[in-house]
């Protein structure tokens, strides 16, 4: 759902509705939801297994739970409205565009396509970052550093391929230029205390 003209967002409790995404003992207690009736499930069907109530994550409440009057508003009603600014420092995580709406697609589709394309290149045949044989370092820190190095190498490869495709042949490559000091400005005298004595003639 998107925002209203005032920028407010309406949210539903994830344990509410006909297809809840979680189970919550507090919701069951406050809304007097009884145990679900047993139903046959085809264990070979992945959709049926995922849709069963036993496959949903369960919210862990405090033991003993808070008193009813001290519970959040979302526990007393199935939906709440969040106005701009009510979340404090967490307000920066608000997404005012409705998911998969035309405005959402226009804002995020290009970024998502670029991210997906980059992930595909990193997992391609040239540099298969998903292959564990390429990442033999042990430990999370070593793996992170190794992945960062591999992504840097891949990025350099992408830039080189782009220059090869888009840079005219007669245009000099600025990245290949090196700074050279004229010979007359070079001091060829040996460094004091750090060089070998001159050879005996």
pLDDT tens-digit profile of 35-69?
566 667 777 888 878 878 778 888 888 878 888 88
Residue range of the domain that includes 46? 9-93
Q: What gap in Å lies between CA 17 and CA 78, rounded to an integer?
A: 8
Same domain (yes/no): 144, 70: no
- The tally of domains found in the chain comes to 2
In this prediction, residue 158 carries a pLDDT of 83
Residue 156, pLDDT > 70, answer yes
Q: What gap in Å lies between CA 90 and CA 82, rounded to an integer?
A: 12
Task: Output 155-161 pairs: Cβ under 8 A, ≥24 positions apart.
Answer: 157/126, 157/127, 158/121
Distances (CA, A) of 14 to 11, 30, 201: 9, 15, 90
SS3 call for 155: helix
Same domain (yes/no): 89, 123: no
Asked whether residue 188 is assigned to any structural domain, the reply reads: no
Same domain (yes/no): 28, 57: yes
Q: What percent of the chain has pLDDT over 90?
A: 0
For residues 9 and 97, is the Cβ–Cβ distance under 8 A?
no
Instruction: Report, as an integer, the average pLDDT of 194-198.
Output: 53
pLDDT interval class at 1 (50, 70, 90):
low
Same domain (yes/no): 68, 120: no
In this prediction, residue 27 carries a pLDDT of 84
pLDDT tens digit string along 62-72? 878 888 888 88
């Amino acid at each position: 759902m998107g925002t209203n003209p005032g920028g407010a967002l309406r949210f539903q409790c994830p344990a509410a509705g006909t297809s809840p995404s979680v189970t919550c003992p507090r919701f069951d207690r406050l809304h007097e939801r009884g145990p679900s009736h047993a139903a046959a499930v085809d264990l070979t069907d992945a959709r049926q297994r995922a849709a069963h109530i036993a496959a949903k994550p369960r919210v862990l409440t405090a033991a003993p739970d808070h008193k009813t009057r001290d519970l959040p508003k979302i526990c007393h009603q199935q939906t709440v409205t969040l106005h701009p600014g009510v979340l404090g420092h967490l307000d920066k995580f608000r997404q005012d565009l409705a998911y998969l709406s035309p405005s959402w697609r226009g804002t995020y589709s290009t970024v998502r396509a670029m991210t997906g394309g980059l992930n595909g290149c990193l997992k391609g045949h040239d540099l298969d970052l998903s292959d564990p044989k390429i990442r033999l370092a042990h430990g999370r820190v070593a793996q992170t550093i190794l992945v960062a190095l591999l992504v840097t190498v891949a990025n350099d490869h992408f830039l080189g391929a782009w220059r090869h495709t888009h840079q005219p042949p007669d245009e000099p490559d600025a990245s290949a230029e090196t700074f050279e000091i004229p010979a007359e400005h070079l001091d060829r005298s040996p460094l004091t205390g750090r060089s070998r004595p001159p050879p005996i003639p």
